[in-house]
Amino acid sequence: MRIVIQRVSRASVTIEGTVKSAIEKGYLILIGVCEEDTMEDVEWLVRKVVGLRVFDDENGVMNKSIMDVDGNVLVISQFTLFASYKKGNRPSWLRAAKHEISVPLYESFCNKLSEALGKPVGTGEFGAYMKVELINDGPVTICMDTKNKE
């Protein structure tokens, strides 16, 4: 699994002209799933996201987690995170998992993250054409890949 976390002041996702989810201070997370991913990857990412300390403490040092600041999370599925661009100029997404693998893992990630935070997680709609808006706070952007755990 591969995620891009952006610390945001606010973020939203709109589908067919209707705002599906919107958050204030927290994380916008883009998530891509590949064929080899498992529930172990989901659990590892949830632990990393919840423990990540990128919010400022009283001294202006990034020392607080999403839990410490009672932040919100919006998770958007993004198969294009697995783009292959080695040959030519048109990317290929052969490494991205098919729906029967990616949908359950995406939903598990959202559910487990919601449980860990103790509040609902905003989502987009898997496979839909979405418009995502955000104000990146910092900017702070972190990329994580479960294939690079060590």
Q: Does some domain include residue 75?
A: yes
pTM for the structure as a whole: 0.95
The reported pLDDT for the residue numbered 87 is: 82
Kindly state the DSSP code that residue 33 receives in the 8-state scheme.
-
6 in catalytic set: no
Tell me which of 79, 82, 109, 123 is the catalytic residue.
79
Range of the domain at 88: 2-143
**pLDDT for 91:** 85
Q: Which of 14, 38, 55, 80 is catalytic?
A: 80
**pLDDT under 50: residue ranges of the chain:** none
pLDDT at 86: 81
- Domain-located, residue 150: no
* In-domain check, residue 148: no
pLDDT at position 92 is 83
Helix, strand, or coil (residue 79): helix
CATH code at position 121: 3.50.80.10
Active site residue 80: yes
